[in-house]
Amino acid sequence: MRINMKIGFFMGSFDPIHIGHVNLIREALNFLDKVIVVPSGHNPWKKDITPAPFELRMNMISESIKHFGDKVEVSGIESTFEPPYYANKPLNYFKNIYKDDELYIICGTDTVEKIPYWKNAVIDILPFYRLLCLERDENITQNGNVEITKTIKDKEGKEHEYLYIPIHPISISSTHIRALVKNNKILYPLVEEAVEKIIYNNSLYR
């Protein structure tokens, strides 16, 4: 008989995935049984940026998560949807696939406050997913990870609980990686060696 699991969904452009993303996955696995990375088709909040081809981003993610084995996987579900690529579409899919499990959305404090305002969040997301917020807090992390329950309000004023986990994040961004590529700089160890090869062999972010 299958044991119910705590599964976290890590959503974003991952354009490209880097050591900061991988570190967040590592931190999340201290509290979850499994993480599923879900690259977006095209983030509707980043209309001014044309992402790298979806399959190449999938390949870069696959190379970056190999170390975690079957605890982490990447899903290409967004490639099956028509734009606009709102988060409720893949989350509606996953809540039916993993209906017997405890589901989480992995995010930071910059995102957790926005989730109640995502497309159909009050109907499609918040009743089915807990929020796992990973964020820097030096006053707490010096004594180890601590789980703290906090609340956020949706647009109707209803409060929703989320789990706040103070961590030691790695400060790096995909924007910085893309800037390094434009200047033909070495990317490792900010990204995996295989990711660096995919980027340069395919002339991404030029």
Residue 200 in domain:
no
Specify the pLDDT at position 146: 74
Residue 13 within a domain: yes
Is residue 31 situated within a structural domain?
yes
Residue 190 lies in a domain: no
What letter would DSSP give residue 77? G
Predicted pLDDT of residue 144: 59
Determine, yes or no, domain membership for 111. Answer: yes
Domain membership of residue 198 (yes or no) is no
Does residue 177 fall inside a structural domain? no
Nearest by Cα to 37 from 121, 105, 111: 105
pLDDT tens digit sequence for 76-99: 999 999 988 899 999 999 999 999
Residues 96-129 have pLDDT tens digits of: 999 999 999 999 988 999 999 999 999 999 999 9
Residues of the chain below pLDDT 50: none
Whether the full predicted model's pTM is greater than 0.75, yes or no, is yes
Domain that holds residue 44: 6-171
CATH for 152:
3.40.50.620
Q: Is 122 a member of any domain?
A: yes
What is the C-alpha separation between 139 and 129, in angstroms, rounded?
A: 28
Q: How many domains does the chain have?
A: 1
Residues of the chain by 3-state class (helix, strand, coil), percent to 5: 35, 20, 40
